């Protein structure tokens, strides 16, 4: 006789094969267990590109130079003139470049060597054997125009106008091939006159930096000068006039 217990046992035996033969879910067969994706860090922002500066960029600059030259002896209707041997000086400038144009203020102390006096009819001196020198401290406003050229060279032309404070110191001299001043001073006076100059030269860039060196020619001239002799009258002296060669450095901020 088949009992309920036997029927339950038969049902269990028949159910186990059906479970084993049943197909697995598609996700269990085809989708293996995947590892979590690594976190991606954001790419760093690009560094700002620095603005390239050079000595030919617009901006403020400073410069200094040294110069040597030959002083002229112009013929004028002054009371007398001086025989100028040579000149030497320095220049200090501050300016601003705007494209091809440079605007500049310049201070330049220059020494003019006096060899002797060229006496005229109204001269307060009785002889020409005097020597000494003149210091011309000039404050000039200059304008330069630069011209583009190949490579690191940039030619320029310029002009300037300003004031010059000229001090004259003349002493009696003893001349033998060269004139030497004695302690007997005949002129020690100063005057202020208008001055002007013209310049031409070239600048040379230094390795794409903010500096350049330059070399140039200067023509410099003043109005006629007025001095007073020691213990004597006021007299008019011919103007200063000179050619000089300048070499210097220019630095941009």
What is the C-alpha end-to-end distance of the chain, expressed in Å?
Answer: 116
Q: What is the CATH number of the domain that holds 127?
A: 2.40.160.20
- The reply to whether 130 falls in a domain is yes
Cα–Cα distance, 226 to 78 (Å, whole number):
10
Q: What pLDDT sits at residue 204?
A: 93
- The reply to whether 118 falls in a domain is yes
Give the range of the structural domain holding residue 201, as residue numbers without chain letter.
Answer: 59-141+149-252
| Tens-binned pLDDT, residue by residue, of the chain (253 aa) | 556 566 566 665 556 555 555 555 555 555 555 666 667 777 677 766 555 566 677 899 999 999 999 988 765 555 666 778 899 999 999 999 999 999 999 999 999 988 776 555 555 555 556 678 899 999 999 999 999 877 789 999 999 999 999 998 887 766 665 555 566 777 889 999 999 999 999 999 887 678 999 999 999 999 988 888 777 777 788 889 999 999 999 999 8
| Predicted TM-score (pTM) of this structure | 0.71
- The reply to whether 137 falls in a domain is yes
Q: What tokens appear for 13 in the block?
A: 């035996």
- The reply to whether 174 falls in a domain is yes
| Local structure of residue 229 (DSSP, 8 states) | B
- The reply to whether 184 falls in a domain is yes
Q: Within the chain, how many helices (H) and strands (E) appear?
A: 2, 10
Q: Decide: 127 and 144 in contact? Cβ < 8 Å.
A: no
- The reply to whether 35 falls in a domain is no
For the chain, what is the domain count?
1
DSSP string covering 143-191: EEEE---STTEEEEEEEEEEEEEEEEEEEEEEEESEEEEEEEEEEEEEE
């Amino acid at each position: 006789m088949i009992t309920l217990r036997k029927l339950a046992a038969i049902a269990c035996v028949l159910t186990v094969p059906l479970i084993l033969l049943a197909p697995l879910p598609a996700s269990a067969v085809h989708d293996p267990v995947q590892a979590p994706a690594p976190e991606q860090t954001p790419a760093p922002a690009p560094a700002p590109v620095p603005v390239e500066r050079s000595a030919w960029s617009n901006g403020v600059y400073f410069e200094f130079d040294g110069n040597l030259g030959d002083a002229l002896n112009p013929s004028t209707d002054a009371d007398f003139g001086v025989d100028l041997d040579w000149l030497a000086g320095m220049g200090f400038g501050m300016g601003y470049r705007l494209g091809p144009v440079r605007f500049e203020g310049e201070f330049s102390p220059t020494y003019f060597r006096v060899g002797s006096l060229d006496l005229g009819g109204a001269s307060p001196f009785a002889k020409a054997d005097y020597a000494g020198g003149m210091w011309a401290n000039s404050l000039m406003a200059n304008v330069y125009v630069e011209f583009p050229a190949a490579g690191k060279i940039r030619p320029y032309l310029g002009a300037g106008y300003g004031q010059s404070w000229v001090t004259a110191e003349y002493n009696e001299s003893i001349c033998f091939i060269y004139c030497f001043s004695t302690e007997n001073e005949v002129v020690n006076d100063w005057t202020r006159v208008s001055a002007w100059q013209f310049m031409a030269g070239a600048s040379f860039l230094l390795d794409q930096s903010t500096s350049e060196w330059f070399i140039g020619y200067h023509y410099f001239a003043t109005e006629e000068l007025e001095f007073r002799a020691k213990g004597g009258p006021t007299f008019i002296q011919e103007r200063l006039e000179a050619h000089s060669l300048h070499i210097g450095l220019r630095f941009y901020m």
